Amino acid sequence: MKNITITLKEEVARWLRVWAAEHDISVSRFVGRLVEEQMDGERQYEQSRKVFLSRQSKPLKRSGAYPSRDKVHER
């Protein structure tokens, strides 16, 4: 484990200490979990992004040509 120091507004720190006490968790553990969740989410996003981008693209239409932009936006 590595100790770090964070700076919070007094109102935020007060709220956090009360919230943590009400939920029977230390402020340190709560902040650690938040950071871990963020890290896991970013890792999952990056993994999903790599899988998506590695797939072969498929045409949206099976046959025929797509209409031109001008044709689609004719008024």
User: How far, in Å, CA of 26 to CA of 51, rounded?
Assistant: 37
**Domain enclosing residue 41, as ranges:** 28-52
pTM for the full predicted model = 0.66
For residue range 17-54, list pLDDT tens digits in order.
999 999 999 999 999 999 999 999 999 999 999 999 99
Task: Indicate the angle between helix axes 27-54 and 10-22, nearest 10 degrees.
Answer: 90
Query: Within a domain: residue 7?
Result: no
More confident residue, 75 or 49: 49
User: How far, in Å, CA of 64 to CA of 27, rounded?
Assistant: 61
User: How far, in Å, CA of 45 to CA of 55, rounded?
Assistant: 16
Query: Within a domain: residue 47?
Result: yes
Are residues 16 and 30 in contact, defined by beta-carbon separation less than 8 angstroms? Answer: yes
Total count of domains within the chain: 1
Query: Within a domain: residue 32?
Result: yes
